[in-house]
Amino acid sequence: MSVDLNPHVQLGFPRPLTQLVKRSLQVSNPNNQPVAFKVKTTAPKQYCVRPNSGRIEPGEKIEVQVLLQPMKEEPPSSAKCRDKFLVQSTIITPERETTSLNDIWGVVEKEDKGAIHEQKIRCAFLPATTATVPEEGEDNASSTSNGNEKYSTVNGTQNPILAAQNASANTDGPTTEKARAAAVAAGGAAAAGAGAAYAATKNAGSRAVGSVSGGAGSTNGNLSEKSHEQLQSEVKRLQSQVDSLRKSSANQGTSDGIPIHIVAAICFGVFAFTYIFF
C-alpha cells in the first residue's frame, strides 16, 4: 500500500522565483503498518526537501517542506516547469523493524522491487497573485516512473551560499535592517582578512630577518619595522571604515541601507592588501 499525498498531482510555486519559495507536501500513512518513504526529483540542484526521507507510523502524517532555490532571472510568464517529484514508499514489515531505513531500501530494492510504491507530482510556476492551482485528473498522475525521466535523491540541507543569500533576500522588516546585517557581516570579514594578512606578513618578515646575518640584518630589520607600522596603519584604517559602516547603518532609519559598492571596495581592498604583502 502507498502513502497519501496532499497535494497529490501538482505542486505550484508562486512567483517571484528569484527568491526562495517554500511549499508543503503532506505525506500520510493510511496503512496498519509503518512505512518508509523518500523523495526524489528530476532537478536535485534546484530543490531542497526537509525531511527527504523518513518513517511514518500507522495513521500518522508528516509535513515535508519543499524549497525552490532562487533563480538568477525570472523565467518568462509562458515558461513551463518540467520538474517532477517522485515519492517512494514501502511497508516496514515486522522482520525489518530493527533494520535502519537506509538498509531497508537497499534490501527491498534488491529482493522485492514490487514492494516499492511510486507516486509522481508535477511542478508548476504560478503567477504571483495565484494562491493555489486546481489539480488535474488522476489519469494524468501515473503511479509508475517514465523510463525517460531520471530521478535523484533531493538534498535535505541548503547550499550555505544560497542560504546566506536567502536570509538577506527574505528577511522580514525594513530594508535598513537587511543592509545593516549585510554591512556588519562584510565588515567583519574585511577586518578578519586584514588581521590575517597582518599576522602572516609579520611572521614572514620575522623569518626573513632571522635568515640574514651581519649588517644586512639591520637593514632588513628596519624594513620589517617599517612594514610592521604600515600594516598596523592599514588594519586600523580598515577597522575604522567597518565601524563607520556599522554606525551609518544603525543611524539610517528610512534610507535604502549601505551601498553595496562600499562594502565591495573594502573587501577588494583586503584582498589586494593580502595579495601584495603575503
Residues 73-83 have pLDDT tens digits of: 999 999 999 99
Which element (helix H / strand E) includes 66? strand 61-68
Tell me the CB-side half-sphere exposure of residue 135, using CA atoms within 13 A.
14
Helix pair 175-210, 260-277: axis angle to 10 deg: 10
* Domain termination residue (choose one: 114, 130, 156): 156
Is the model's pLDDT at 189 over the cut of 60?
no
Q: What is the dihedral of CA 260, 265, 266, 271, to 10 degrees?
A: 130
Domain check: are 225 and 142 in the same one?
no
SS3 134: coil
> Is the confidence at residue 15, as pLDDT, over 80?
yes
Q: Based on the fold, state whether residues 142 and 176 are members of the same structural domain.
A: no
Cell numbers 640574514 correspond to what residue? 212
Residue range of the domain that includes 89: 4-156
Contact 27, 4 (CB under 8 A): yes
Do 146 and 181 fall within a single domain?
Answer: no
- Cell numbers 528569484 correspond to 18
Q: Is the pLDDT of residue 172 over 50?
A: no
Q: How far apart are CA 202 and CA 257, in angstroms?
A: 36
3-state class (DSSP) for residue 116:
coil
- Residues 72-121: pLDDT tens digits? 999 999 999 999 999 999 999 999 999 999 999 999 999 999 999 999 99
Confidence at 271, pLDDT banded by 50, 70, 90: low
Instruction: Choose between 209 and 237: higher pLDDT.
Output: 237
In a domain, 162, yes or no: no
> What CATH number does residue 110 fall under?
2.60.40.10
Rounded to two decimals, what is the model's pTM?
A: 0.52
Q: How many domains does the chain have?
A: 2
Cβ distance 143 to 117 under 8 Å?
Answer: yes
Residues 231, 110 within the same domain: no
Please give the pLDDT value at position 239. 72
Same domain, 104 and 186: no
Number of neighbouring beta carbons within 10 Å of residue 254? 7
CA dihedral 139, 7, 117, 159 (to 10 degrees): 130
Per-residue b/e over 127-157, b at no fewer than 16 CB within 10 Å?
eeeeeebebeeeeebeeeeeeeeebeebbee
Confidence of residue 267 (pLDDT cuts 50, 70, 90): low
Give pLDDT, residue 233: 75
CA-based nearest residue to 41, from 121, 134, 127: 121
129 band by pLDDT with thresholds 50, 70 and 90? low
- Choosing from 156, 185, 200, the residue where a domain stops is 156
Mean pLDDT, residues 218-234 taken together: 58
